[in-house]
Structure formats: structure tokens, C-alpha cells
Amino acid sequence: MRQLNLTKRLFWIVALLVLCANAFVITYLYQQAEDLAKIRAYSKAKTLHDYFMAMRLVYHQQFLESGIDLNDSTIGFLPAHASTHISDEFLKRSTQGITIHNVSDRPRNPVNKADDLEMKAITYFNQNPDKNETIKLVNEGGKEFFFFASPLRIQAYCLACHGEKNEVLPYIAKRYNNAYGYKLGEVRGLTSIKIPKKTLFDDVVGLFWKETIFSSMVVIGLLVLMYMAIRELTKRDVEQKKELETLVLQRTKMLTQKSIELEKSYAQQKHLYAVLRTVADSNQILITTQTLEALLSETAKCLFANTSFAHVKISLYENGALHVKESFGFDEEHDINPIEKEVFTQGGFRILTPTSENLPHNCQLTILRYNVSEAYITVLQSDKFAPKSLGVMSICTTMPEGFSIEERAMIEELAGDIGFAINSFLQKENILKLSYYDSLTNLANKILLTEQIKLCINANKHKNTYGALLFMDLDNFKSINDLKGHTAGDKLLIMMARRLENFTKEHDIVARFGGDEFALLLPNLTNSIEEAAKIAEHSAMQILLATKEPFLIDAYLCYITVSIGISLFDGDEDAATLLSHADSAMYTAKSDGRNTIRFFDPHIQKIMEEKSSMLQQLRDAIDSEQFVLFYQPQVDANANVTGVEALIRLKATNGELISPMQFIPLCEESGLIIPLGDWVLKEAMAQVKYWQNDVEKSTWRVSINVSTKQFEREDFVETVQKTLASTQINPSLICLELTESLLIRDSAKALAKIRELKMLGVSLSVDDFGTGYSSLQYLKHLNVDELKIDQSFVRDFILNRSDALIVETIISIGKSFNMEVIAEGVETKEQFELLKEMECHYFQGYFFGKPAAFDAI
């Protein structure tokens, strides 16, 4: 009976589905009937329209060709008048309620005026000149009808009545005051056909209901037959089932005994399968995980899922000690025990049981507390021949018999696979860190910053939001390296990086762009550029405040400021342009006094581009030898020339000479000062060689300026030596002018180079003495021949007592250290005489001569 009831339920479910399907088909057929009615309406409307328009055209042509004079009696023959009468007569004769009219938006006869529906159709055809007809079902006043419309476009013959009023037929112009000025091709009216839906739909619906009733009767008959057949078959199945139940009971008794015997065998196979399943799942984890943390977590979970393992612990060696990374099973077991340390140090594996000797106390407590029967501890290595261990894996079981041979082999195999996978992740992390992070500060580097900028630009473009890039450069960072060394400079950069990180939010990106340059990327700020600018400026102000706090470096308080350039972006820029804009804004902050904030200004960007162009011109000038040397006389107290200073000039393509003030700073910044300085050395020494045959000039000493970067090169002394050897001149005729800053940057190296240069026989001068790091402490160790008083002190020393004291002090220092003193910038006789009274012996300036070419001096 239970089977019979089940069959009945299944039958009713099937019957319900069949009825639902039949209902769906009926609905579909009704929709098809609707579509068929519309098709019939279109076909009928199209036929009526074509006939009506053909009759109108023929009627019009006959009227024009007849030559009938247009007057009050013949006006009715015009198509516009005649079509109205035809439409009215058609409505009277039509038994289906169909109407057909020619209507206009500017009718001359009220009966031809388009209604709201027809006006919309006229507008539609004017907006869509490629459309020639439309049909749709309309419901007005509770009545449904198909509305067919076709445009009446103005043709040439229409203009005889609807052209400009002064050009139409006189009778028309006299009779009507509207509907003039039509243009060819305009839609000024349309053929409107309205067909009641009921006229076409009743026949289709009648046929539809006949088919629906017939199909429903067939479905019901089939269901009745199906029910009767199923009921008869079910009765037979119930009888057969009773016979089978008796037979099954007999055989079940026989199989019960065999199943008991197989259970033991199955339990052993099941345990072996679980071991193999754990190995397979763990290996799959090792292959698919993307991070080291996921690898350790998922692997430990997988092992713990094996019912044989009561506890799983994985530890790795980090920062000089073993640390537990994952632990499952024993909640209190998160410490490294002595046995694990021993295994990590000595390698191999250890098996611990409750009867093992010399167990540490905490291991004994764990075994007793959790009833551990065996613990297997093995080392994790990249491979069995690896000299260093990566960590330790510990697995415990509470099964009375402990681990089987297969399980121990599995643990060892997994330990090798896990060690190999861990090593692979560590190598990937190291490679990734080297590729995308700054090795000094651990901040993002230029590559990672550029990639993140590209992602932010794309995201902002889709979200229509603004972001900001802050480009920062530490002010006077070079002086820190000069005074305290590069080690102190590196410490300052690290501390600066940490301070910047303290002011960043979750999605902000801090990067070290290079040297003492940092960047802060603020993505997806707001939809308003003004609000984005405020947020970026606030962040920049926070950074300025943070850098005001002193940096403690090797017990020395260091104060430093930062210049910040800001460039906003909304997705229309590329990464290179954005970086260029932020860099330009930063340089604007530098030029505006430093320790300040500036937003990107296109005018400044233009200056930077001109600077880049100038740099290329300088490179070309070096290659094409456009540089020339001028020489300014240096005299003694009797105004006799004792030497000259070699001064570089750049000759432009138009012959104009460009001052070094315009290109030397750029050469210093770009590194072009190195090849330019080498050229000056060779050119000046070649000039000394040229003057050897001149009675007066053969004794002149030539002073050559040496840049800081040029002096710091390892091969500078060798370059001077080779140039002297190639020209074979007297080294004493060469004086190298050095700046004070390079003398204290690395005093030991500087002093060593000075000794080597003195051994070559050249003389040395300290240029612009008194403007830099003047200190008796380093001066007493310098083996230089000359101090050069900077022209800034000489210019006003007659009127300015402070400058006069500085000049007197420098002259006194020179005497004390047995050095010559030369004053530059002497421009008047009064300055010359007063300097002689101060016992200055050598002079240089416009008073004695301006820089000139070698043949004009």
C-alpha cells in the first residue's frame, strides 16, 4: 500500500507538470494569436494605404493635366479636398469600422487636422527621415485599434499650393492664409488608418479557443489512461516485492557472518586509504597555495583532519629563533620544547613515547595530560642535503598502537615536500622584495610605485575621482652626508621612512623614489578637485610638522626640512607624466625657499622642459667642442701679471657667449661636469704648453677650477698626472682651485689626494675661502698653497666693517699658515690700495682686466 500511495503521488506530480505545460502552450498560442492579428492589421492597412495613395496620385495628375480653372466650383477636385470626401464615403461603406484619412499638422480644412496621436506620428517621421511607415496597437477611450501611419512628404507638385505664398496659384493665395512655405522632403502630414482590433481578433480568438478546448480534452484523456495503467502495474510490483523480501531475509542471515569477517580487513584498508588521502591532499595544497601563511595553515589543517593525528605543530626559524607558526589539537602547546630545538640543530627525526628516557619535564606533562601514545618530530629542510634547516614539524597520536610504518613514512615524505615548498616561497619573497622594495627603508621602490600609480589612474578614471601624488625631497640632505658620513645619512633616511609610514592610511602608498626623494600616493580621494587638493595639502602639512621634530642619530640631534611637490590626477594622465609633474612641483618648492609645499604649475613644467633641452644642448656642445676658455689676469702688488685663471664659456650657434652661471649648475646636477672638467684640464694645460715660447707668458701660472664631483673621482689624480705627462709642461705652472666643501666631505681621502697632487708638483688653492665650512681645525692639516678671498667680501669691505674684518682675518690666516692670499673681484683702485695696506699680495678683478680669449689677453 505504501508503494501504491507513492505511485499515486508521483502520478499527481506528473499530471500537475503536464497541466502546467499545457497552460504554457495555451498562453503561447494566445500570444501568437495576438501577433497574427497585428500581422493581419498591417497587411490590410498596407493594402488600403497603397490603394488610397495610388488613387490620390492619379487623381492629382488628372486634375493638373485637365487644365481645369481653379475656382470656388472646382476647388473640390483638389486631392486634399477630394481625399476628405473619399475618407468619409469609405467610413460609411466600411462594415468593419476602419477609417482612412490624409491629415496635416497645418490643415486648411478643419476635417484634415491631425489629432494628438497623428501629431506624434508626424513628429516621429520628421525625426526619422529613413522611416516610411509605422503601426501599433492603441487604446483610447476603452477601445483598442491598430493605428497605421505613413508620412506625406512634400513633393515638387505640392509647392504649387503650399510653396511661398507669393508663388502659389493665385486662387489658393486668395482663399487661404495658412500652410505656406513648405520645403521639399518635409513631412507635413500623413496617411492615418485606424483598424478596430475586434474586427481582426474575434475570428482568430474563436479558432484559438476551439484548439485550446480540443487539446485540453486530449490531455485529460491521456492522464486518465495513464492513471489506470500505473495503478494496475503497481499492484503487481507489490506482490513481487513481498516474495523478494522473504528471499532477502534468508540471504541476509548468511551475509551477516561474512560482513563481520570483512570489517576487520576493511578497517585496516580504510586506515591505509586515509594515510594516502592525507598525502594527496597535502601535496595538492603545496601546489596550489599562493602564500607561505596559507601553505602552513592549510597543510596543518589537512594533517589534523586525519583522525590518527591528535596534534600537529609546524615551527619555522625566523629572526634567530624557532617560532610556532601553526598548532592544532593541543591548545596549550604553542611553545618550542627542547627536543624540537635538538632536532632543528642536529637534523633527522625523533620518536617519543611515554616510555622514552630523558624526556624533558614539559614533554612528560604533555604526554600524560593528553594521553599521547607517540610523538614524531622531524626537521624541515629544502632537501635532505641542505646544510641549514628551515624549521621543525611535530605530530602526535593518541591511538594505542601509535603510528604505523606507513604513517611514519608519510610524515617524512610530507616533511620533505613542505620544506621544499617553504624554501620556494622564501626565495620568491626575497626576489619580490628585491624587485619592488627599497633595500634600505623597506618602502616601495620606484618600480612598485610606478605600477601602483598606473593602477590608481585606471581606477580613478572608472570611478571619476581624484587622487594625489606627493613628491618629497629632503632639504640640505647632502650636508648630513658631508658632515656625518653616508652611514648617518642612511639612518636618517630610515627614520624618515618610519615617520612617513605613521601618517599613512590603509590604502596610501609610501615609496622611496631614490636618494633622499620620497613619494606618497593618495588614491581615490574625492570627486571634487578642490576637496582633493585640501586633503593632499593637509597630508603634506602633517609631513612638514613631522619632520620638524629632530632626528637623533648617534647621539647627535639632526634638524632637517622637506620640500613637497603635489600633483593631482583624475585618470587622464599617464604615470610618467604624473611623476614629472610632481617632481616639477617639488623643484618649485625648493626654489621658493624649501620647507614648503607647492602644487604642479604648467609654467614651471615648461621651465623644466627647457632645462632638459638645455642639458641636451650641453651634451652636444661637449661633443662638438663649442666650449672655449677665457683667461682673467692675476697680478701682484705692482699690478704685474703673475698668472691667469681659466674661465669656461659656451659659444652659442649665433656666436654669442653664454655665461657659466647659466650652465655650470646644470652640469653639476647632471654629472656633465666630469667630462667638462677633464676638457678644461687638457685645454688649460695645452695653453700653458703654447705659451712656453712667449717670453712674458711662459712664467704665468694658470688657475683651474675643480668641481667637487670631479675631485671625488677615484681616477682624478691619475687624470691630472696623464694630462701633465701628455703636455710635458712644468707642473708648478698649474694651480688647482678646490672648494672648502670637498675638503671636509671625507677629510681622510681629501688629504690623501692633496698629498698625491702636491707630489705631482702642482699648486693648490682654496677657492671662495670664507663662504663655506672655514675651520682652522681642518685648515692646519691642508697642504695648500693659496687662499682665495671671495669677491662677496671684497665688494663692500671698504664700507662694511664686518667684511673688512673677514678680509683681514683671511689675510692673517694665510700668513699664519704660510699661504699666499689672493683677493678676487677687485674693481676699483681704492679697493686695490686698501688691500695692499692689509698686506694682501695678489689680486684679480675687472680693475686689472676682464676675462678674454688667449690671443686677446
Which of the four pLDDT bands, split at 50, 70 and 90, describes residue 688?
Answer: very high
Lowest mean pLDDT among 31-35, 188-192, 431-435, 751-755: 431-435
How far apart are alpha carbons 556 and 539 in whole angstroms?
28
294 compared with 748, residue with greater pLDDT: 294
End-to-end CA distance of the chain: 132
Q: Do the beta carbons of residue 161 and residue 172 sit within 8 Å?
A: yes
In angstroms, the CA 400 to CA 423 distance is 35
**Segment 153-174 mean pLDDT:** 81
pLDDT over threshold 90, residue 833: yes
* Set of cell numbers at residue 242: 513481498
| pLDDT at residue 145 is higher than 90 | no
**Does the pLDDT value for residue 399 go beyond 80?**
yes
Residue 472: predicted pLDDT: 93
Taking the C-alpha atoms of residue 833 and residue 837, their distance in angstroms, rounded to an integer, is 6
pTM of this structure: 0.40
| Cβ contact 683:702 at 8 Å | no
So what's the pLDDT on residue 776?
A: 58
Cα–Cα nearest to 377, from 296, 314, 306, 469:
314
Which residue pairs, CB below 8 angstroms and at least 24 apart, start in 646-655? 646/680, 646/683, 646/684, 646/687, 646/702, 646/703, 646/704, 646/705, 647/705, 647/851, 648/676, 648/680, 649/851, 650/618, 650/621, 650/626, 651/626, 651/627, 652/626
Domain 614-844 is of which CATH architecture? Answer: Alpha-Beta Barrel (3.20)
Look at residue 3 and tell me whether its pLDDT is greater than 60: no
C-alpha cell at 281: 591532499
Q: 486 to each of 247, 342, 481, 585, 746, how far by Cα in Å?
A: 96, 42, 5, 27, 10
Pairing of strands 466-474, 517-526: antiparallel
What is the number of other CB atoms lying within 10 angstroms of the CB of residue 367? 21
* Tens of pLDDT, residues 264-290: 666 666 666 777 777 777 777 777 777
Alpha-carbon distances, residue 215 vs 16, 32, 494 (angstroms) = 16, 16, 87
CATH no. for 289-435: 3.30.450.40
- The more confidently predicted of residues 550 and 142 is 550
- What is the C-alpha to C-alpha distance for residues 148 and 100, in angstroms, rounded to an integer? 9
Q: Are 532 and 550 in contact (CB under 8 A)?
A: no
Q: Which triple of cell numbers denotes residue 826?
A: 677687485
- Chain centroid to Cα 514, Å, comes to 19
Per the listing, cell 615536500 goes with 417
Q: Check the CA dihedral 118-119-124-130 and report its sign.
A: positive
CA–CA dist 338, 54 (Å, integer):
109
Min mean pLDDT across 310-324, 462-476, 763-777 is at: 763-777
Answer with the residue of higher pLDDT: 222 or 733: 733
- Residue 7 is predicted with a pLDDT of 64
- pLDDT (average), residues 498-511: 84
Q: Beta-carbon neighbour count of residue 740 at 10 Å?
A: 20
Hey, where are the domains in the chain? 2-201, 289-435, 443-600, 614-844
CA distance 37 to 205: 9
In angstroms, the CA 846 to CA 857 distance is 13
Which of 356, 354, 285 shows the shortest CA–CA distance to 314? 285
Among 3.40.50.300, 3.30.70.270, 3.40.50.720, 1.10.3720.10, name the CATH number for the domain at 443-600.
Answer: 3.30.70.270
Distances (CA, A) of 491 to 484, 486, 552: 11, 9, 9
Residue 248 is predicted with a pLDDT of 74
- Predicted confidence (pLDDT) per residue in 24-81, tens digit: 777 777 777 777 777 877 888 888 888 888 877 777 777 777 777 777 777 777 777 7
As a whole number of angstroms, the distance between CA 71 and CA 683 comes to 111
pLDDT above 90 for 689 = yes
